């Protein structure tokens, strides 16, 4: 399995955001530096809600360091929904889903075709 690298500090922050937004979803874009995800930009006007496809292409910021997305699932299911998969395939890159209860173990990473990536956490 290919891996995606993420800073522990960022992952901790994402878990915090997921808990804060619960029972709603949160969504953001991930910024990469030298092959490691380091920063999140919270989606500016997401339609938070359980089944909404909140990432619309019109809201994608123009920023070449944005190489992925993250969103939370308020339930324990960490698998991408059909709407998620449609979005992933348009956006490309890497996509994190953080499922309830929002711990390091409930984080999954996917490629734009929906296949799994291993998450490597860097200090």
Taking the C-alpha atoms of residue 45 and residue 47, their distance in angstroms, rounded to an integer, is 6
Q: Which is nearer to Zn ion, 11 or 27 (CB)?
A: 27
Q: Are 69 and 56 in contact (CB under 8 A)?
A: no
Q: Which is nearer to Zn ion, 32 or 84 (CB)?
A: 84
Residue 23's SS3 state is coil
What phi and psi, each to the nearest 5 degrees, are found at residue 7? -70, 140
Interacting residue ranges for Zn ion, rule: CB under 5 A: 81, 84
Q: Which is nearer to Zn ion, 8 or 79 (CB)?
A: 79
Tell the smallest beta-carbon distance from residue 73 to Zn ion (Å): 5
Tell the smallest beta-carbon distance from residue 103 to Zn ion (Å): 17
User: Which residue's CB comes closest to Zn ion?
Assistant: 84
Tell the smallest beta-carbon distance from residue 95 to Zn ion (Å): 9
Residue 33 has which token pair?
A: 């530096």
Tell the smallest beta-carbon distance from residue 109 to Zn ion (Å): 13
């Amino acid at each position: 399995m290919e891996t995606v690298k993420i800073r522990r500090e960022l992952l901790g922050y994402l878990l915090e955001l997921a808990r804060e937004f619960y029972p709603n979803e949160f969504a953001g874009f991930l910024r990469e530096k030298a092959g490691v995800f380091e920063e999140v930009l919270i989606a500016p006007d997401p339609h938070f809600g359980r089944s909404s496809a909140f990432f619309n292409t019109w809201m994608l910021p123009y920023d070449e360091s944005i190489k992925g997305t993250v969103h939370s699932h308020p339930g324990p299911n960490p698998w991408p929904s059909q709407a998620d998969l449609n979005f992933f395939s348009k956006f490309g890159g890497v996509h994190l889903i953080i499922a309830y209860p929002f711990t390091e173990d409930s984080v999954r990473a996917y490629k734009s075709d929906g296949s799994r990536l291993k998450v490597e956490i860097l200090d």
